[in-house]
Amino acid sequence: LGKIYAHMFLYPLDKQIAICVDRKINCLISLTATTLLDLKQSDVELINDAGRKIQIAYHAPPHDMFPGSVDPYVRKVAKLRLSETLDLASKTHATHIVAHINYIEDMHKYHVRSWIENSLELFEELIRLYRVPIHIENGYEQTPEIFYRMLKEAKNDLLGFALDIGHVLAYSKEPLEIWISRLSDYIREIHIHETRPGVDEHLAVGSGLVDWDQILAMLENNGVSINRICITIEPRNENDLDRSIRYLRDTLGLI
Ligand SMILES: [Zn+2]
């Protein structure tokens, strides 16, 4: 399945892997702080086994991670969790990791300059240490500006952008066109699911709320070659994964 991944974020680690191996779809493994704290050697072996059949990538724990915080203690927490994620990623030959930056405009806008400097310093240090590509992903961010400023300043091939289309539709005050045109040089991955504005529902691709032909055309028109980026399906359950895969194959012709 080429560069198609599934992110089964509501399932435990072993089940996420089993679901992906069964369907021969690459696995963006969802990590939480608890998964990392409880990680056993047998989990690493399970992942390495799966890695002989499919590609593996990791979604770093998203909660309470503030890599650009003005408080060095808070940045240290982000560094520790991201290091654990990257350590596992390099041990299991992952293609990349995905990390939220959690820039909450209302809270962080007064320190945006130091926020960018601090988070870039952290990401660049981690890339030097682990040499694993990091895709930073939008969550609650309302505009693409913070990502644009970070990625433009970084000029680092191993630091790219994961565009979560569902999160843009749920939370952004800018339309998707603006995100795509602003960040086209940096998009390495898209996360696809459907939702109504204002909520993050993670419904199956093909539910009818999103015009995917139009979005794919928008990407291509902005120079983002859909065959070269990772496409990650983010459903709530196995049925919706299968439905999304069928839609990608039969309607969009992506598989
Ligand atoms: Zn996502």
End-to-end CA distance of the chain: 6
Residue 162 CA to ligand 1 center (angstroms) comes to: 8
Residue 234 CA to ligand 1 center (angstroms) comes to: 7
Cβ contact 122:79 at 8 Å: yes
Residue 166 CA to ligand 1 center (angstroms) comes to: 8
Whether the pLDDT of residue 199 is over 90: the answer is: no
Separation CA 153–CA 116 (nearest Å): 9
Q: Who has greater pLDDT, 190 or 198?
A: 190
**C-alpha of 96 from chain center:** 10
Q: Predicted confidence band at 245 (pLDDT cuts at 50, 70, 90)?
A: very high
Residue 91 CA to ligand 1 center (angstroms) comes to: 23
What is the full DSSP assignment across 28-39? EEE--HHHHHT-
Residue 238 CA to ligand 1 center (angstroms) comes to: 17
Residue 191 CA to ligand 1 center (angstroms) comes to: 5
Residue 38 CA to ligand 1 center (angstroms) comes to: 23
Residue 30 CA to ligand 1 center (angstroms) comes to: 10
Separation CA 228–CA 231 (nearest Å): 9
Residue 215 CA to ligand 1 center (angstroms) comes to: 16
Residue 87 CA to ligand 1 center (angstroms) comes to: 21
Whether the pLDDT of residue 196 is over 90: the answer is: no
- pLDDT tens for 147-163 read 999 999 998 999 999 99
Q: 244 is written with which tokens?
A: 């999304």
Residue 19 CA to ligand 1 center (angstroms) comes to: 18
Separation CA 231–CA 3 (nearest Å): 6
Separation CA 57–CA 188 (nearest Å): 13
Can you tell me the mean pLDDT for 46-60? Answer: 98
- pLDDT tens for 101-111 read 999 988 899 89
Res 1: pLDDT: 64
CA dihedral (5, 18, 195, 249) positive or negative: positive
Residue 82 CA to ligand 1 center (angstroms) comes to: 17
Residue 138 CA to ligand 1 center (angstroms) comes to: 8
Residue 99 CA to ligand 1 center (angstroms) comes to: 9
Residue located via tokens 């940096």: 186
**Nearest alpha-carbon partner for 101 in 152, 45, 159, 22:** 159
Mean pLDDT across the chain: 96
Residue 226 CA to ligand 1 center (angstroms) comes to: 17
